[in-house]
Amino acid sequence: MSTETGTVFVHPDGRCDSNDVGAGTRVWAFAHVLDGARVGENCNICDGAFIESGAVVGNGVTVKNQVMVFEGVTIEDEVFLGPGVIFTNDMNPRAFIKKHGNELLPTRVRRRATLGAGSVVVCGTTIGEYAFVGAGAVVTRDVPAHAFVVGNPGRVIGWACDCGLRLPASLICECGHRWANVDGGPEGGARLTLVGAAGQQDPDSAV
């Protein structure tokens, strides 16, 4: 049994109050997308997820079960949010002080990043493209692109490949991608640069 709103699939036990949801997106049982939330195309909003008014979710995003996405949070395209990921939007909440709009601290997850199950994102942070946050981590600071973060507080312990694997010290991934580290380690503004894609010949080994 299912109901369709345009080309948006909403499970009969799911609820989609927003009219700003893209084609191909599926909202499963007990998930709730509030009026005023923006969700792109081809997203999968799994059972029990919550997307609040003012939250923005891009295209092709996976929102696993029980994820909480609140106002002020922006999720870019093709991000993976594991089960039970929790965002926040008020750094110093009090039940008797209500905050809205600019009073909330914005959080952004850049495209193709992954947040592992049960991770918590403290507001005001930006998680970079292709970053990988391990299960149960608590993100308290900005995460550079491709950084691999675990623990509470979340610490950068290495780099993540496009494919999702943690890179070894050689920066050569099992998938065949070869990377170079610009400026030392992942902390301090360094960046990871792709120097060879899977299937390409390594120019250093060419004869």
Ligand X SMILES: CC(C)(COP(=O)(O)OP(=O)(O)OC[C@H]1O[C@@H](n2cnc3c(N)ncnc32)[C@H](O)[C@@H]1OP(=O)(O)O)[C@@H](O)C(=O)NCCC(=O)NCCS
46 is a site residue for Zn ion (CB under 5 A): no
- CB of residue 177 to Zn ion, shortest distance in Å: 5
Cis peptide before 106 (omega within 30 of 0): no
173 is a site residue for Zn ion (CB under 5 A): yes
Per-residue contact string for residues 92-121; x = within reach of ligand X by CB under 6 A: ------------------------xx----
The smaller minimum CB distance to ligand X, of residues 135 and 190, is found at 135
Nearest to 22 by CA among 34, 39, 37, 35: 39
- Residue 24: CB atoms within 10 A of its CB come to 15
> Which listed option, Zn ion, ligand X, none, makes contact with residue 166 (CB within 5 to 8 Å by class)?
ligand X
Binding-residue total with ligand X (CB under 6 A):
10
Radius of gyration from C-alpha coordinates of the chain: 19
> Which listed option, Zn ion, ligand X, none, makes contact with residue 196 (CB within 5 to 8 Å by class)?
none
Stretch that binds ligand X, among 70-78, 134-142, 181-189, 195-203 (CB under 6 A): 134-142
**C-alpha to C-alpha distance for 48 and 42, rounded to whole angstroms:** 18
- E-strand ranges in 66-168 read 68-69, 73-75, 80-81, 86-87, 107-109, 114-115, 120-121, 126-127, 132-133, 138-139, 147-150, 155-159
135 is a site residue for ligand X (CB under 6 A): yes
8 Å CB contact between 183 and 193: no
Binding residues for Zn ion (CB under 5 A): 161, 163, 165, 173, 175, 177
Binding residues for ligand X (CB under 6 A): 82, 116-117, 134-137, 150-151, 166
